Amino acid sequence: MDDRIITPIDQMLAERACERIIVDFIHRLDLGEPSSVAELFTPDGIWYWPHGDRRIEGREALSAYFASRPSDRLSRRLMTNILVTVESATRARAVSYLTTYRVDGYAGGMIEPRLPANVGHYEDTFRNIDGSWLLATRTVFLPFGADTERLPSGTAART
Give domain status of residue 63, yes or no: yes
CB proximity list for 18: less than 8 A, separation 6 or greater: 84, 86, 92, 94, 124, 126, 133
The pLDDT of residue 1: 43
Question: Do 112 and 83 touch, CB atoms closer than 8 A?
Answer: no
The pLDDT of residue 57: 98
The whole-angstrom separation of Cα 118 and Cα 148 is 9
Instruction: Look up the CATH number of the domain holding residue 100.
Output: 3.10.450.50
Give the domain extent around 111.
8-145
CB proximity list for 126: less than 8 A, separation 6 or greater: 18, 21, 91, 92, 93, 94, 133, 134, 135, 136
Give domain status of residue 153, yes or no: no
How many domains does the chain fold into? 1
Q: List the pLDDT tens digit at each of the 159 positions of the chain.
A: 455 679 999 999 999 999 999 999 999 999 989 999 999 999 999 999 998 789 999 999 999 999 999 999 999 999 999 999 999 999 999 999 999 999 999 999 999 999 999 999 999 999 999 999 999 999 999 999 999 999 998 664 555
Give domain status of residue 154, yes or no: no
Phi-psi label, residue 14: left if phi above 0, alpha if psi -120 to 50, beta otherwise:
alpha
Give domain status of residue 1, yes or no: no
Give domain status of residue 41, yes or no: yes
